[in-house]
Amino acid sequence: MIELLYFDDCPGYEVFEPRLRELLAEAGLDVQIRRRRVESDAAAQSEHFLGSPTLRVNGTPCSAPAVEPADPARSCSRS
């Protein structure tokens, strides 16, 4: 399962999600993407949120490098 974590004030996930779907289709993968909104700093802490958007595959965050920040928070990547 793929989870896409985001928060509303960061539009980066709106660009990221369609591209992710394209890549999955090109690879011939039929994988469900579950979108999850992180609504507060407390939720960011409990989710170990890496910033918006965060992609998790089978519960493992995908990032480069794949490490959790010392202080998870609702940060934003506007890629």
Structure confidence at residue 75 as a pLDDT band (50, 70, 90):
low
The sign of the torsion formed by the CA atoms of 46, 49, 53, 58 equals negative
Asked if residue 55 is part of any domain, the answer here is: yes
Q: What is the DSSP letter of 56?
A: E
Asked if residue 71 is part of any domain, the answer here is: no
How high is the pLDDT of residue 25? Answer: 95
Asked if residue 46 is part of any domain, the answer here is: yes
Half-sphere exposure of 11 (CA within 13 A, CB side): 1
Asked if residue 73 is part of any domain, the answer here is: no
Tell me which of 35 and 68 has the higher pLDDT.
Answer: 35
Q: How far, in Å, CA of 44 to CA of 50, rounded?
A: 8
Is pLDDT above 70 for 10?
yes
Structure confidence at residue 66 as a pLDDT band (50, 70, 90):
very low
Asked if residue 68 is part of any domain, the answer here is: no
Q: How many domains does the chain have?
A: 1
Asked if residue 79 is part of any domain, the answer here is: no
Is pLDDT above 60 for 69?
no
Q: What is the mean pLDDT of the chain?
A: 82
Asked if residue 10 is part of any domain, the answer here is: yes
Question: Domain range for residue 45?
Answer: 2-62
Helix, strand, or coil (residue 62): strand
pTM score, whole prediction:
0.75
